[in-house]
Structure 1
Amino acid sequence: MHLQVVLALSAILLCDAKLPRYKPSGQNDLPPNPAQNGQAMALLQAQKKTEKTSKIIDQYKVRHRREVFDSKSYESSLTWAHSERLDDNGDVILRWVNTDSSITFRLEAKTRGYVGLGFNSVKNMRGADLVVAWVDDRNGNAQVLDCHGPEFEDKAEADEVQNYELISGYQNDTHTTVEFRRQLDTCDKQDFVIGDDTTQILWALGPEGSDGQLPKHVKSGARPLRLLQPVSKPDSIPLLHWDVRLTNLTIPQVMATLFWCKVFKVPDLPKKHHIIGYEPLIDSRPLRNNIPVQVPNSESPVHHMVLYECASDDDKHLWDSWTEGDGYFGPNRPSDWATCATPIAAWAVGSQGEFLPENVGIPLGERGGVSYYMLEVHYDNQALHNVLDNSGIRIHYTPSLRKHDAALLGAGIGVSALHVIPPKQKQYRTVGICSTECTQETLPEDGVNIVSVLLHAHGTARKISLKHVRGTQELPRISEENFYDSHYQQSRIVPRGRKFMRGDTLITECTYDSTSRDKPILGGYSAKQEMCLSFILYYPRTELAGCYSMTPVKEFFETFGVKEFYGLNFMQVENIFLSSGSFENLPPQPALEHLGEHTMSDSGEQGMQGDDQGVGLMKELVIWEPPEFRNKSFMAHLNEMPWAEPLLTEQIEKTLYKGMHMTFCKKRDDTWGVPIQIQSYPNYNEIMNNETAEKSCHHKSIRLPSVTKTSSATTSVVSWTVLWLCATLVIAR
């Protein structure tokens, strides 16, 4: 009895020492000026939030106090599945491993203050889920604090419910290392749900001695990552590699966008091998006085790279001569290279490459059926620098054949200027179709199995999804990215794979945020333009290489109110687009009163844009009908449309999305799987998103199984008794 009284009194005194004293505030505390009253109230509210955060920190320190704790011997000994540098210098390293329901982190930071880690859909603290960790300088005890960022402020506040579980932590003379874990979905409104989408990982380092005080950080940053990704790099099979890279290619400063293509011959292999993975080889050095120099943290202009198989050709001598050359500027490459149509590796900015699941491989070697490959490199050189480049792709392959021969299929919207995104739009959707007719003709009777997907677009894309339609019913989406970041384009494994049957339809849908743009965005290869593509890894291998769609020319121009151009009918314009947008044989156009409105130099673009895809044609086509648009270039007309009118943009989106589509079905040898067709958007029942309905929790704390140690059972009981009394006193106050 006496012991219980002593414990209760001790807990009350301890909690009382931790809680801040509130001074009652009356009318006399506020200045008479109403503006000053508002400022004073804001200051009082901020003070109360700070006091609330301090209170929760103090309670959390009590909850996690340990009587006996040797942090250096307390590391989890986990095998970390993933490891990433969050900053360029490697001062902050994040390691993690996850189960189906929880995720465990190890955060290593060059600081003796606090280190913060955050999760958000955007690159700032507002509305973010934050965890702040530190090691107490006085006793060496580690602490973690569950926080969040207010919706309208870049700062951290402690959560009402703490959902992070400390595992271990220690610091030395330079670094702080902390391990902790949480549920993927804590059912707490102040926490971020960690799922399959790309997450913006925030980090911050506090000044020395900032143990739980949450002052302003001294360093911070963000980088996109997908935390739930499988580990597929094989450790138990023999691996060889083949480096497919350019040699001393000079990117001139006049080229803002450049495509370069080069043909390579397969290694001399005695038997069929399997490609099981690839990774980028980025080697770009700025030229200073024609001498390449190393510039720390300089960004490479390499935007994306694709390695294509080339269909067999009897003229080996000609192809061998191409392998010995330097390659060609994309639009000028030999016409025979059109047979290099089947992608086997697709890399884009932010990706580290990928390794294929252990049951599939892509055939390599002449005995695998292919002798030549074409590397296509896209350079985004908007800064207009002279650069010497030796970049490419490292192909990992093995003689240990896997069960299935796999292949890549390109799908989505055909890259051309007929793909338009209006300016000032928060969520504008476009769509590309892989038609029923194409899959019915080219896929085997038992269908194929989809393994992974790389979703690709440029900087204004915010969401991309790959939809699957069978008959008149949409099935669950094959792959989906709701927080797309063009600087992090990593392929996505399809959990448990997906059976795709003959006659099924693929739909690639992209959603764009163009609110920062003043003029319409056209489809094209430049990073300032847009794409909407899916690269789909599947097995068994078929002859299908590409399956795309775009708006038919007549329907496209009529959507924007244009009925006729000078000297060209719509069929002629369509033929120009289908021949990669070449307009060398355009008829003479009239002298325009406002010539500058449709010239490249006056449209805000600087530097040559390679592989035009019809963008220049939009500036050369001059409207004849209707009379109100007469003598304007189509680009000038597009720029002058009243895009602020939501009824206009909604109608254009609906017409181009749900209207007619011209579909393309290309085989590996560059022949048509089925003829080009114009067809209406497929009619099907869309699936509804029922994630909310499936929630079984009601935003309450999820207590993780304890992984901490205490000196005895008695200590544990005493600690929880003290915590209960503290909580009771807080409620009473």
Structure 2
Amino acid sequence: MHLSTVLILSVFFLCDAKLPRSKQPLPPNELPSNPTQNSQALRLLQVERKSEKTHRIVGQYRSRNRREVFNSQSYESSLTWAHSERLDENNDVVLRWVNTDSSITFRLEAKTRGYVGLGFNSARNMRGADLVVAWVDDRNGIAQVLDCHGLEFDDRAVADDVQNYELISGYQNDTHTTVEFRRQLDTCDRQDFVIGEDTTQVLWSLGPDGSDGELPKHVKSGSRPLRLLQPMSKPDSIPLKYWDVRIMNLTIPHVMATLFWCKVFKAPELPKKHHIVGYEPLIDSRPIRDGRPVLEKNSLSPVHHMVLYECVEDHDKRQWNEWAEGPGFFGPSRPGELVTCVTPIAAWAMGSKGEFLPENVGIPLGERGGVSFYMLEVHYDNQALHEVLDSSGIRIHYTPALRAHDAALLGAGVGISALHMIPPKQKNYRTVGICSQECTNNTMPEEGINIVSVLLHAHGTAKKISLKHIRGTQELPRISEENSYDARYQQSRIVPGGRKFLRGDTLITECTYDTTARDKPILGGYSASQEMCLSFILYYPRTELAGCYSMTPVVEFFQTFGVKEFYGLSMMDVEKIFLSSGNLDGLPPQLEFDIKQNSADEAILQGDDQGVGLMKGLVIKDPPEFRNKTFMAHLNDMAWSEPLLTGQIEKTLYSGWHMTFCKKRDNGWGALIQIQNYPNYTELTNNDTSEKSCHYKSVILPSVTKANAATTNTVSWLTLLTLTTIFIAR
């Protein structure tokens, strides 16, 4: 027989492929086939399937190789699962896992008596995904795992050439199937996904009952973004108290697509300084149906993100106490005194479980710690225009057992403003926010600070975010980086080993966006239909620095798009409006009326828009070719499909002039507002693209499992060896 036939049939039998057969019961241990897209090989395989010789060999294989039956009565996992996540809303699929530096072990619990599929991909579908299919045979209790992958251009799973998943154990009861298995983080197999520190789209599927060893169409499926290698655990060795900071019974009207709500809270009365050591979200959103709030199991909350700030109150504590007892304020209408609430304490965004701080740091809490009032800012994204009763907030965990260091949270990145513009039809468009050398030089201690963790935040079109560290004219390794950003999953990221950041160093937050599905420009703002580019940085020791941002200067921004002058407003007037977050108070009445009329949204109210409405209302006077058009209409009419145009705009706004802001905890300036050029530094060489010492073959895992798992792996290789020997001998 030809060698090609031997190889094809060897792989075919290695995967325990099915052959044409009558409607007799399935023999035990049969696995799905490994289809190939090579038509010649397929024809050869079909011919061989029909031969008596092949059937005889298959019969020999079935009779010689019987796997041991797993005894579920004696099953008890010896592993401690570091992580556990519910992959679906109904709790039908639960994934637990623990990893070492080189491998990862999973426990998959699924409500099915058929197969259960688990996958890993950078996209939310199975095309090109790394897949593993597992089941327990109904007749003999034997567990199986099959290493597969999704085809690039078809929603179909096929078995891998090399099997890199090791079965540990598996069993099923009347309702559920439970399987444990492991793999290397990087198997050096091109058909497998490399599990790293970036966000992974974890796919799941459930087969129909009785689908043991087959891959019929799944009956349920879904995806969940997760970071599989990030540690996050709740400390249980110290006495913890908690303080619930939450909005109570706020009705979100169906006419508000975006709503910011601010509520002042008084800190717990504590006899001495305490430390905040962690926080977690409290999401309680109830749709209003027929005038009554109802609990709906799969109802999506409009809570988009929440930030708790320290407030530097004045001497009139009576006023602050009244605010603390009141219901709160609509964001744009909040009292002016609340601008002193600028130091973030806890930052939560969609998909996050919260954060617990490392054991050596804590954030001071209470008047004895220097602050007695806090402000919770909640952003509601209600694009579906539902009426909702909300009582969401944040649970703060604190302790009297003080940590070694007082920590703080620093906000950095691109200032939230309509001047943060992202063009449509772009695959990889970058924007950048700078925390300047002057700012860190003026606000940080001589020995610098130690960065502990980072929460990277943007909205739906962001695909990458990185926090860069510049010292002098040299870029150091990235402090934090996400190359597969998913706005549905914004969990803070521990900085392994911490990072020493010295006085005079520069922070740069860089975001990369994919707007290929958009037809119009996206402006910066709080709405989920707008964009952000922020980093929330946990560090110690605590300093006076609260926020450190940059944005494109107003004149340079409009000049980039060829606009020199507007009717009724000088560029200085426009700049003042943007620096006051789009506040139009103080304009001539007629001009204010005209701008509000031009910028009015007929369908929905977006709330606090940070100058977006102004962009729709400004009417161009000079140059003549754009005269009498609003600036937003001008942006919409630009030739965004022309790469020379968009490339030049990106270069100008990215590496051109930046207006930098340096805010202290008392709402004062840590450094003067400056207009400066993008820092000049040597960029870091990306080591991730260097060649790995992989030869793209199976990586053998050292066996640490029970006997039946070892038997499973041995049988597969013995089967291949036996079949190959038979074919060569004949």
Q: 1:703 corresponds to which residue?
A: 700
Q: 2:14·2:716 contact (CA, 8 Å) conserved in 1?
A: no
CA distance in 2, matches of 1:381, 1:245: 19
Q: 2:256·2:606 contact (CA, 8 Å) conserved in 1?
A: yes
Q: 2:14·2:719 contact (CA, 8 Å) conserved in 1?
A: no
Alpha-carbon shift at residue 699 of structure 1 (Å)? 1.2
Q: What aligned pairs does 1:111-260 form with structure 2 within 5 A after superposition? A: 111-260=112-261
Q: 2:294 corresponds to which residue?
A: 293
Q: 1:464 to 1:277 in 2, by over 3 A?
A: same
Q: 1:176 to 1:575 in 2, by over 3 A?
A: same
Alpha-carbon shift at residue 211 of structure 1 (Å)? 1.4
CA distance in 2, matches of 1:574, 1:337: 23
CA distance in 2, matches of 1:63, 1:75: 30
Which string of whole-angstrom CA distances, capped at 9 and with x for unpartnered residues, describes residues 262-306 of structure 1?
100000111111000001111111122332112221111111100
Residue identity in the other structure for 1:322: W
Alpha-carbon shift at residue 718 of structure 1 (Å)? 8.4
1:110 and 2:107 are equivalent in the alignment:
no
Q: 1:148·1:158 contact (CA, 8 Å) conserved in 2?
A: yes
Q: 1:92 corresponds to which residue?
A: 93
Q: 1:590 to 1:309 in 2, by over 3 A?
A: closer
Q: 2:663 corresponds to which residue?
A: 666
Q: 2:307 corresponds to which residue?
A: 306
CA RMSD of aligned residues (A): 3.0
Alpha-carbon shift at residue 691 of structure 1 (Å)? 2.0
CA distance in 2, matches of 1:18, 1:636: 62
Residue identity in the other structure for 2:690: A
Q: 1:685 corresponds to which residue?
A: 682
Q: What aligned pairs does 1:300-339 form with structure 2 within 5 A after superposition? A: 300-339=301-340
CA distance in 1, matches of 2:533, 2:220: 36
Residue identity in the other structure for 1:100: D
User: Residue 690 of structure 2 aligns to a residue in which SS?
Assistant: helix
Determine what percentage of the aligned residue pairs are the same residue.
76
Which string of whole-angstrom CA distances, capped at 9 and with x for unpartnered residues, describes residues 227-265 of structure 1?
111133111100100000111111111111000001000
CA distance in 2, matches of 1:318, 1:496: 44
Alpha-carbon shift at residue 526 of structure 1 (Å)? 0.4
Q: 1:232·1:358 contact (CA, 8 Å) conserved in 2?
A: no
Which is further off, 688-697 or 524-533? 688-697
Q: What aligned pairs does 1:23-38 form with structure 2 within 5 A after superposition? A: none
Alpha-carbon shift at residue 49 of structure 1 (Å)? 12
Per the normalisation by structure 1, the TM-score is: 0.90
Q: 1:676 corresponds to which residue?
A: 673
Residue identity in the other structure for 1:654: K
Residue identity in the other structure for 2:88: D
User: Residue 655 of structure 1 aligns to a residue in which SS?
Assistant: helix
Q: What aligned pairs does 1:469-488 form with structure 2 within 5 A after superposition? A: 469-488=470-489
Residue identity in the other structure for 2:618: L
CA distance in 1, matches of 2:270, 2:66: 63
Residue identity in the other structure for 1:657: Y
Q: 1:63·1:720 contact (CA, 8 Å) conserved in 2?
A: no
Q: 2:599·2:614 contact (CA, 8 Å) conserved in 1?
A: no
Alpha-carbon shift at residue 688 of structure 1 (Å)? 1.3
Q: 1:423 corresponds to which residue?
A: 424
Alpha-carbon shift at residue 64 of structure 1 (Å)? 8.8
1:632 and 2:629 are equivalent in the alignment:
yes
1:642 and 2:643 are equivalent in the alignment:
no
Q: 1:501 corresponds to which residue?
A: 502
Q: 2:169·2:708 contact (CA, 8 Å) conserved in 1?
A: no
User: Residue 80 of structure 1 aligns to a residue in which SS?
Assistant: coil
Q: 1:722 to 1:625 in 2, by over 3 A?
A: closer
User: Residue 673 of structure 2 aligns to a residue in which SS?
Assistant: strand
User: Residue 609 of structure 1 aligns to a residue in which SS?
Assistant: coil
Residue identity in the other structure for 1:465: S
Q: 2:567 corresponds to which residue?
A: 566
Q: 1:381 to 1:571 in 2, by over 3 A?
A: same
User: Residue 322 of structure 2 aligns to a residue in which SS?
Assistant: helix
CA distance in 1, matches of 2:44, 2:186: 26
Residue identity in the other structure for 1:652: I
Residue identity in the other structure for 2:656: G
Q: What aligned pairs does 1:287-436 form with structure 2 within 5 A after superposition? A: 287-436=288-437
Per the normalisation by structure 2, the TM-score is: 0.90
CA distance in 1, matches of 2:341, 2:135: 55
CA distance in 1, matches of 2:648, 2:709: 70
Q: 1:711 to 1:452 in 2, by over 3 A?
A: closer
Which string of whole-angstrom CA distances, capped at 9 and with x for unpartnered residues, describes residues 633-653 of structure 1?
000000000111111001000
Q: 1:66·1:710 contact (CA, 8 Å) conserved in 2?
A: no
Which string of whole-angstrom CA distances, capped at 9 and with x for unpartnered residues, describes residues 314-363 of structure 1?
21111111111111111111111111100000001111111111111000
CA distance in 2, matches of 1:17, 1:273: 59
CA distance in 1, matches of 2:709, 2:17: 28
Q: 1:654 corresponds to which residue?
A: 651
Alpha-carbon shift at residue 583 of structure 1 (Å)? 2.2
Residue identity in the other structure for 1:559: T
Residue identity in the other structure for 1:92: V
User: Residue 608 of structure 1 aligns to a residue in which SS?
Assistant: coil
Residue identity in the other structure for 2:198: D
CA distance in 2, matches of 1:399, 1:131: 47
Q: 1:727 to 1:303 in 2, by over 3 A?
A: farther
Alpha-carbon shift at residue 549 of structure 1 (Å)? 0.1
CA distance in 1, matches of 2:364, 2:448: 20
CA distance in 2, matches of 1:610, 1:713: 61
**Structure 2, gaps ≥5 residues long:** 1-8, 21-35
Q: 2:490 corresponds to which residue?
A: 489
Which is further off, 683-692 or 117-126? 683-692
Which string of whole-angstrom CA distances, capped at 9 and with x for unpartnered residues, describes residues 66-107 of structure 1?
346424424432111111111100111000001111100000
Q: 1:663 to 1:111 in 2, by over 3 A?
A: same
Q: 2:110·2:176 contact (CA, 8 Å) conserved in 1?
A: yes
Matched residues, number: 696
Which string of whole-angstrom CA distances, capped at 9 and with x for unpartnered residues, describes residues 433-481 of structure 1?
0000000000000000000000000011110000000000000000000
